[in-house]
Structure 1
Amino acid sequence: MRTVAIAGLGAIGLPLARALDQRIEGLKLVAVACRDAAKGRASLSGFIDPPPIVSLPELSDADIVVEAAPAAIFDKIATPALEAGRVLVPISVGALLPRMHLLKLAQATGARIIVPTGALLGLDAVRAAAEGPVDSITLETRKHPRGLVGAPYLVKHDIDLTGLARPEVVFEGNAMEAAAGFPANVNVAAALALAGIGPVRTRVRIWADPAVTRNIHTVTVEADAARFSMTIENVPTPENPRTGKITALSVLACLRGMVSPLKVGT
């Protein structure tokens, strides 16, 4: 039995906690952390076995620590978990890119960082292609303007999406720049970069599109071994239009893979 702790009870953390509360074989939810303890207790009130609400450092008592919190507190979750030699499953993958020193910390303590596929698709194919020569990897993201509001890049460049009537490209650059400018929107860019050719060579284009009702990501890979393009259209969660419903399910599948006797995919 592997114990699991979750940082954050939002659009990803709470559905994941509910799923783990249903007695998944080999996994046990033993702790959660959240910003508002009273709200957290209310959210957990219907659980079969409500886990205790603990401080961020206490999460590291569990075997697996899932980070599903705002990127601003990433260090407070990741560093103690890695120092304790735990398995860290980060959702704020964009916060990992400028903190690659955490890989050395994990190596020193025997910890692991396992990045779930999240709202993207086909990272196993990208990883396989990256074992050989790769010419280019690009990500094109389309979101409704309300899913991009408040992004640091838009604020810095005074880009107002209010009343946008037609699709508009609001960003073009590499994955490192995208992750910094849209920390709540394109963790997919960071995951893609880590699976493939790195954050500098991975190119990203972001569209604000008032006509879309889903968060759409298209990955295109030109490699020596294969040429492929993949598109996923994610249904946003009611709680947070920036987050697709599939993200929490992806984390759950990732956790199952750690304890299942059968693992499918690279």
Structure 2
Amino acid sequence: MTVAVAGVGAIGLELARRLDAGDGGLRLVAVSARDRAKAEAALAGFRAPPPLRPLAALAEADIVVEAMPAAAFDAVAEPAVAAGRIFVPASVGALLARPGLIQAARASGARILVPTGALLGLDAVRAAAEGPVESVTLETRKPPAGLAGAPYLREHGIRLEGLEAPTRIFAGNALEAARGFPANVNVAAALALAGIGPERTQVEIWADPTSTRNTHTIRVEAEAARFSMTIEGVPSAANPRTGRLTPLSILAALRGLVATLKVGS
């Protein structure tokens, strides 16, 4: 299957690099970037450097991966869905505000594949959600640098500089979290989509100057099971707002599309 990647930042470049290294059944055929010169320099060492294409042209590939700032989401998603492609968003939070995109995919025959990203245990959450679920909560703790620039902080005049102790800076549902922290908590959106929806999924976000990792703890109370899970992700050196696990998760999801043996639901 052919793959096009929108964005060559911390997520997109690592994914493109691994696809270029060779993987049975997957072929990188195009990328798109805001800064063409920077992208060309980053791709120069590839075994087979992919062409730089406009965002809309990426929909010529079988699979379109979105790994750009959330503001560019529609320019990537809409052509891919209209063309009936497999669309893989890294900006998962953007989906929560766009239910029409799912309806459009149903009409065109497109598929929207949400990767696990920096989370864990979405298989268990999806399974539990097949029955009654009392509650799903997510507690996210990040170093202050990993939350810098979030709209919620600007709107509420919250400053993280000089923070000395872990501080809760947000409590609300997943929809509110995705709006206030579009580059920081795509994990909340993925959890909500896998489970009981964005209005019922509760989220806490902590700025933790004592931590060097992005820590996410899921707690689920359901008829079938009660469980909690914690993952400590290493922030990307290129962008502390995302983790090193995210591009690997997308690659694993793509491999699942072409694998002879696929493990997990």
- TM-score band w.r.t. shorter chain: over 0.9
Alpha-carbon separation, structure 2, partners of 1:257 and 1:147: 30
C-alpha distance in structure 2 between counterparts of 1:149 and 1:259, whole Å: 38
Matches within 5 A, 1:111-122: 111-122=110-121
User: 2: distance between equivalents of 1:261 and 1:146?
Assistant: 41
In structure 2, the partner of 1:163 is 162
- Write out per-residue CA displacement over residues 47-102 of structure 1, whole angstroms, 9 at most, x where no aligned residue: 01000000000000000000000000100000000000000000000011010111
Aligned mates of 2:122, 2:25 — CA distance in 1: 25
Query: In structure 2, what is the equivalent of residue 198 of structure 1?
Result: 197
2:17 is matched with which residue? 18
Name the CA distance, whole Å, in 2 between partners of 1:190 and 1:23.
31
Q: Quote the offset at 1:170 in angstroms.
A: 0.1
TM-score (norm 2): 1.00
Counterpart residue number, 2:66 = 67
User: What is the distance in 1 between the residues matched to 2:110 and 2:73?
Assistant: 16
1:99 paired to 2:128: no
What is the distance in 1 between the residues matched to 2:93 and 2:197?
Answer: 12
Partner of 2:219: 220
Residue 247 of structure 2 corresponds to residue 248 of structure 1: yes
| Structure-2 residue corresponding to 1:37 | 36
| SS across alignment from 1:96 | helix
Paired letter, 1:258: L
Matched, 1:49 2:75: no
Counterpart of 1:108 in structure 2 is: 107
Which residue of 2 is the match for residue 229 of structure 1?
228
**Aligned counterparts of 1:41 and 1:87: Cα–Cα separation in 2:** 26
Aligned partner letter, 2:62: D
Which residue in the other structure is 2:127 paired with?
A: 128
Partner in structure 2 of residue 260 of structure 1: 259
Using the alignment, how far apart are the partners of 1:221 and 1:101 within structure 2? 28
Amino acid at match of 2:172: G
The aligned residue for residue 181 of structure 1 is 180
Please tell me the root mean square deviation across aligned C-alpha atoms, in Å.
0.4
Give 1:23 shift. 1.5
Who is 2:26 aligned against?
27
Q: What displacement does 1:22 show?
A: 1.0
Deviations 1:131-158 (A, max 9, x none): 0000000000000111111100000000
The amino acid that maps onto 2:56 is P
Moved over 6 A (4+): none
TM-aligned CA deviation for residue 198 of structure 1? 0.1
Q: Please state if 1:84 is matched with 2:83.
A: yes
How far is the alpha carbon of 1:113 from its aligned partner?
Answer: 0.1
> In structure 2, what is the Cα distance between the partners aligned to 1:73 and 1:15?
19
CA distance, structure 1, for counterparts of residue 22 and residue 143 of structure 2: 36
Aligned residues: 265
Name structure 1 gaps, 5 residues minimum. Answer: none
Q: Percent identity?
A: 68
